[in-house]
Amino acid sequence: MNVNDTEVIFSILEKAGYGRTENIEEASVILANTCSVRDNAEQRIWGRIDQFKAVRKNRENVIIGIVGCMAERLKDSLLEKHDVDLVAGPDSYRTLPLMIGNITPGHPQINVLLSKEETYDDIVPVRTDKNGVSAFISIMRGCNNACSYCVVPYTRGRERSRDPKTILKEARDVFDKGYKEITLLGQNVDSYFWNDPETSDNNVNFAQLLEMVAKIDPTLRIRFSTSHPKDISDEVIYTMAMYENICKHIHLPVQSGSDRILEKMRRRYTREWYLERVEKIREVIPDCGITTDVISGFCSETEEDHRQTLSLMENVGFDFAYMFQYSERPGTLAARNYPDDVPPEIKTRRLNEIIELQGRLSLKSNENDIGKKMKVLVEGPSKKNPDEMCGRASNNKMCVFPRKFPDGYVSTTDTEEMPGIRKSGEIRIGDYIIAEVTSCTSATLICKLI
Ligand code: SAM
Ligand code: SF4
C-alpha cells in the first residue's frame, strides 16, 4: 500500500513540475514514505533521516519530508525533535506541491488532516515497478476495524471505498500499457462497498468489483489483498472459482490460534470460524494457495495459547506466512488496556517456533506440487541463476525455470482455455508459460518448461 501511495505522490509532484531521481545527491526534495505498524519499521526511519540531513548539510536548500503513517502518528513532534521541513499524513498528498512551495527557512509545513472521502481516485499513479508486469491498484483506504494491537485505524483513518468506474479505468489503462497482473489493495478488501450516490441499483460489493476487473481481459491476472477472516464471503470465493484469471490465492491473516487471544485482539472471529472459512475455500477452490499473518507474544499470551497457534497452523497447512513478534503501538486499545507482559525472550522463542513450523509447512506444501503443471507469469531473471527465469503461479508460489525452450521444441500442452501462452523459443518478461514442477525448496518450485 505504501508503494502504491508513493506512486500517487510521484504523480501529484510530476504534475506540479517535479522530476524523479534515484540519486539523492541531486534531489531538491527528499521524502520518506513511512510505516508505523511495528516499532522496528519506525526505528529504521531515524537512521534514514540522519542520512538525509547529511545531504542537507552540503546543500542548504534541500527539503526533507516525512510522509505517511509516521507523519500521521507523530505529527509536529517530528518538526520539533527531528528538524524536518515537511510532515504530511496519508490523506494530504494533494497539498504536497503547495506545502513544498511554502517552505522557507524556519517555517516547516505540516498537514496531518485525515479525510472521510479522499481516495485519490482521479490520480494516475506513476508506476515504480521495475518489470512492467505487475501493478497495484488501491480500491479503498483506511480501516473501520479496531484490532486492539493495530495502529492503522489511527494513521489511515476511516474506511472509504473508491468509485469502481475509476478503478476499472485505471485497470484498463495499465493493461493497455502492457501490464499483465493487477493487485487490488485494501486493509479489508471484503468490506469494499461502493454506495452509488445516484441509485442503489449501481452499488458494488467486492465480489462484483472482482468480476468487473476480471472481465477486462482473460490474459490480465487479478490478485487482491488483504482478506479479513470475519468478512470473506462465499460470493467472493465463488467469483474466484468462476474466473480463470482471478488468481487462486487468498491471504487470510489469522494472527493467533487461541480464541482467548483472538477475543483480546478484537479480531471478531473464533478459531472455529477461521477453520470453517478455510474449509469453504478448499471445498470451492481445492488448489487455492492460503497464506497468513501471525503475531507471537501478544499481551497475556500463555504457552497454551501459543500451542493453539501452532496447532492451527498445522491444521490449515499454510503455504506461506508473515510472522511477527507483538510490538506495542502507542495509543492503540491494547497499549491503553493491557500490559505488554510477555518477556522479549519468550516472544522471540515462540516466534522462532512459529517460523520453524512454517518452514516445514511451506516445504510440505511445495512437495505436494511436484508433478503438477502450473501456469506461470514470467517476472524476470532468477536471482540465483541468470540462465533461469522466475515468476509466480496462480497460487502465488515462486517458480524458477529455464530461460529457453529447447531448440525446435513446441509445447503441445493443451492451453485452449488459457490464451496468450508462450510455447516455444526464448522466454520474455510478461509471458505466460506452462511449467511442470520437478523439485522444490521451502521457498521455490523448481520447474521444467512443457
Ligand atoms: N489489514 C490487514 C489484516 O487485518 O489482516 C493487516 C494489516 S497490517 C498492516 C499487516 C500485519 O501486521 C497484520 O496482519 C499483523 O500480523 C501485523 N501487525 C499489525 N500490528 C502489529 C503489531 N502491533 N505488532 C506486531 N505485528 C503487527
Ligand atoms: Fe489493522 Fe485490524 Fe484494520 Fe487490519 S483489520 S488494518 S489489523 S485494524
- Kindly report, residue by residue over 201-214, the tens digit of the pLDDT: 889 999 999 999 99
Interval between CA 347 and ligand 2 midpoint (Å): 21
142 pocket-lining for ligand 2 (C-beta < 6 Å): no
Residues 271, 254: Cα–Cα separation, whole Å? 9
Mind listing the pLDDT tens digit for each residue in 182-200?
A: 999 999 999 999 998 888 8
Q: What is the pLDDT of residue 411?
A: 81
Tell me the mean pLDDT in the region 166-179: 96
Separation CA 267–CA 232 (nearest Å): 13
For residue 149, which atom of ligand 1 is closest to its CA?
23
**Do the Cβ atoms of 162 and 118 come closer than 8 Å?**
no
Nearest atom, ligand 2, residue 153 CA: 8
Q: Range with the lowest mean pLDDT among 150-154, 213-217, 292-296, 418-422? A: 418-422
Cα 431 from Cα 419, distance rounded (Å): 11
Residue 304 CA to ligand 1 centre (angstroms): 22
The proportion of the chain whose per-residue pLDDT surpasses 70, expressed as a percent, equals 99
pLDDT cut 90: percent of the chain above it: 89
Tally Cβ neighbours within 10 Å of residue 83: 12
Query: How confident is the model over 141-160, as pLDDT tens digits?
Result: 999 999 999 999 999 999 99
**Contact criterion met (CB below 8 Å) for 210 and 163:** no
Q: Rounded mean pLDDT of the chain? A: 95
Q: Is there an atom of ligand 2 within 6 Å of 152 CB?
A: yes
Q: Tell whether the model's pLDDT for residue 274 goes beyond 70.
A: yes
Query: Closest ligand 1 atom, CA of 1?
Result: 9
How many CB atoms sit inside 10 A of residue 26's CB? 10
pLDDT tens by residue, 50-59 = 999 999 999 8
Q: What is the pLDDT of residues 352-389, one digit of tens each?
A: 999 999 999 999 999 999 999 999 999 999 988 888 99
Protein residue whose Cα sits closest to atom 14 of ligand 1: 293
The reported pLDDT for the residue numbered 415 is: 60
Q: Which ligand is nearest to the CA of 255?
A: 1
**120 ligand 1 Cβ < 6 A:** no
Average pLDDT score over residue span 282-290: 98
Sorted by sequence, the CB contacts under 8 Å of residue 363 that are 6+ apart come out as 440, 441, 442
Q: In what order do the strands lie in the sheet with 134-138?
A: 134-138, 181-185, 221-225
Per-residue pLDDT of 226-240, as tens digits, reads: 999 999 999 999 999
Q: Is 209 in the pocket of ligand 2 (CB under 6 A)?
A: no
Q: Which of the four pLDDT bands, split at 50, 70 and 90, describes residue 256?
A: very high
| Structure confidence at residue 178 (pLDDT) | 94
Choose one of 2, 73, 147 to mutate for the ligand 2 pocket test, by most ligand atoms within 8 angstroms of C-beta: 147
Please report, as a single letter, which amino acid is at residue 111: N
Q: Is pLDDT of 414 > 70?
A: no
- Write the single-letter amino acid at 155: T
Does residue 390's CB lie within 6 angstroms of at least one atom of ligand 2?
no
- Distance from residue 221's CA to the centre of ligand 1 (Å): 26
Q: Is the CB–ligand 1 distance for residue 48 below 6 Å?
A: no
Indicate whether 410 pLDDT > 90: no
Ligand nearest to the CA of 253: 1
The Cα 169–Cα 366 span in angstroms is: 37
Ligand that comes closest to the CA of residue 154: 2
Does any ligand 1 atom lie closer than 6 A to the CB of residue 2? no
| Nearest CA residue ID for atom 2, ligand 2 | 147
Q: Ligand 2 centroid vs 388 CA: distance in angstroms?
A: 38
pLDDT value at 392 more than 80: yes
> What pLDDT shows up at residue 417?
59
Q: Is the dihedral of CA 51, 54, 55, 61 positive or negative?
A: positive
Phi and psi torsions of 111, nearest 5°: -145, 110
pTM for this one? 0.96
pLDDT at 130: 79
Question: Residue 187 Cα, ligand 2 centroid: separation in angstroms?
Answer: 6
What φ, ψ does residue 92 adopt, rounded to 5°? -115, 15
Instruction: For residue range 74-110, list pLDDT tens digits in order.
Output: 999 999 888 899 999 999 999 999 999 999 989 999 9
Task: Please state, as a whole number, how many other Cβ atoms lie within 10 Å of the Cβ of residue 201.
Answer: 6
Higher pLDDT, 116 or 200: 116
Q: What is the pLDDT of residue 438?
A: 98
Phi, psi (rounded to 5 degrees) for 426:
-90, 140
Long-range contacts of range 326-331, CB-CB < 8 Å, 24 or more positions apart?
326/149, 326/295, 326/296, 326/297, 326/298, 326/299, 326/301, 327/37, 327/38, 327/39, 327/40, 328/39, 328/149, 329/36, 329/37, 329/38, 329/39, 329/149, 329/150, 329/151, 330/73, 331/73, 331/151, 331/154
Q: Hey, whose CA ends up nearest to atom 12 of ligand 1?
A: 37
The alpha carbon of 39 and the centre of ligand 1 are apart by a number of angstroms equal to: 12
C-alpha of 383 from chain center: 21
The pLDDT value recorded for residue 416 is 60
Q: Is the CB of 109 under 6 A from ligand 2?
A: no
